Amino acid sequence: MPNLFRTIQLAMKSLMLHKLRAGLTMLGMVLGVSSVIAMLAIGRGAKEQAQAQVLKLGATNIIVRSVKPPPESAVNSGGASVLRYGLLRKDYDLLNKTIPTITQAIPIRELTKASRHRQHDITARIVGCTADYLDINHLDMAQGRFITDDDRKQKKNIAVLAAGTADELFQYENPVGQSVRVGDKFYSIVGVTIPRQASAAIGGSMSGQDYNQDIYIPLETMRVRLGDLNIDRTAGSFSSEYWELSQITLRVDSQENVVETANVIRESMKQNHKTDGDYAIVVPLELLKQAEQMGIIFNVVLGSIAAISLLVGGIGIMNIMLATVTERTREIGIRRALGAKQRDITVQFLTETIVLSGTGGIVGILLGLSTKFAFAGVRSIVENFILKGGKAGSDFAQMFSEMRPEPVPWSLPLAFFISVSIGVIFGLYPAMAAAKLDPIEALRHE
């Protein structure tokens, strides 16, 4: 044990003679270890974020959405070109009544309309829905109440405002009890929802949703007052689209029946649709499994990239130690002449490489643990200069701003072990080369 301490002291003393060179050599290991920890932390954060987005849709839910086909799919109706697509009410009836594993079916219809209150006007997403919409989308009420089954059955002219919509239209007023104009129709406001964070896009079938710019009205009221035909007149252009439902969210009785039920839904939808080009079926459970697999691949790829940094650091250590052996050839000759064995010379130089790589590994771990704080600074820039700069619709920016990197516990000892191992592997050859020097030739070296 005393010999070990003495060897470490000699190694530290030798390294301190060339502080800058030792520091630069160690820097390669520091960056390598910290990048391994940081990459795995970011990979874990991305994986958890993707899984969280999918889980918001519900692991026992199946979502069927209307998909707008190309404009050339429009058909001529009464001299006007009408684009017909999407889900039908008979699709809702078919799925709800004929598939026994479905416990709940929630239809909605969405469209964009100009909305106004006095001098304030915005373009809002109008959502025709049922009372179940509140629960399935994890919304809460800030004031008043949400739509009820009686509102839908009686086709009441009422509306619930999302938090952002209420702020823009009413600003410092209390919206509840007042009215809002949607298109050319007026609706009495019965409630306002609590702000909810927007969701990022899921795969290629679900676009990002901003729940703070909505106006909710009973589904049957939307059918009576706004109809199924949406006509868009803009300067120099005219277009008309016909669709009945935008989405049907189906709840399955158990997670084990989700995949089988999804297959039955795919077959059932063929009864009312010649092709599947105007609708998409999203199965969150399948997306969750894909997210887990992608997370593993993501970690492997990022870990491999970071491992290259460690390899480069190891090559730097070997290069420096070979140069050190050349510089200290006369010292090696003196030690051999005084009775040092080849093993002693090997241990001395190998200890120096281990001290270099081990110290670099410790500093790298400390730097890697600061990943979430550094990422928080980058996230702040994204939120303040990108999301607030008119690019809030960017799904990547939205997901990036919500990501929370968290260091993987097992990555800390693994990165340190790899750094020390690389130090041993790349330091072994220079140490053996030093030990094999001929003592007589070493003493003659100038």
Q: What is the pLDDT of residue 401?
A: 62
Q: What is the pLDDT of residue 442?
A: 60
Structure tokens at 32: 């390598």
Q: Which uninterrupted H or E stretch holds 116?
A: strand 102-117
DSSP 199: B
Q: What is the pLDDT of residue 157?
A: 93
Q: What is the pLDDT of residue 390?
A: 46
Q: What is the pLDDT of residue 393?
A: 44
Contact indicator for 65, 282 with CB cutoff of 8 Å: yes
Scanning 281-341, the segments in alpha helix (DSSP H) are 284-327, 329-337
- State phi, psi for 327 to the nearest 5 degrees: -65, -30
DSSP 87: B
Those residues of the chain that have pLDDT short of 50 are 1, 204, 390-394
Per the listing, tokens 């009420």 go with: 141
Contact indicator for 82, 242 with CB cutoff of 8 Å: yes
Q: What is the pLDDT of residue 75?
A: 59
Q: Which uninterrupted H or E stretch holds 266?
A: helix 258-269
Number of H helices, E strands in the chain: 15, 14
Evaluated on CA atoms 360, 366, 370, 372, the torsion sign reads: positive
Q: What is the pLDDT of residue 313?
A: 78
Q: What is the pLDDT of residues 410-428, one digit of tens each?
A: 888 888 888 888 888 888 8
238: nearest Cα among 80, 99, 104: 80
**CA 245 from chain center: how many Å?**
29
Q: What is the pTM of this model?
A: 0.63
Contact indicator for 313, 360 with CB cutoff of 8 Å: yes
Q: What is the pLDDT of residue 55?
A: 66
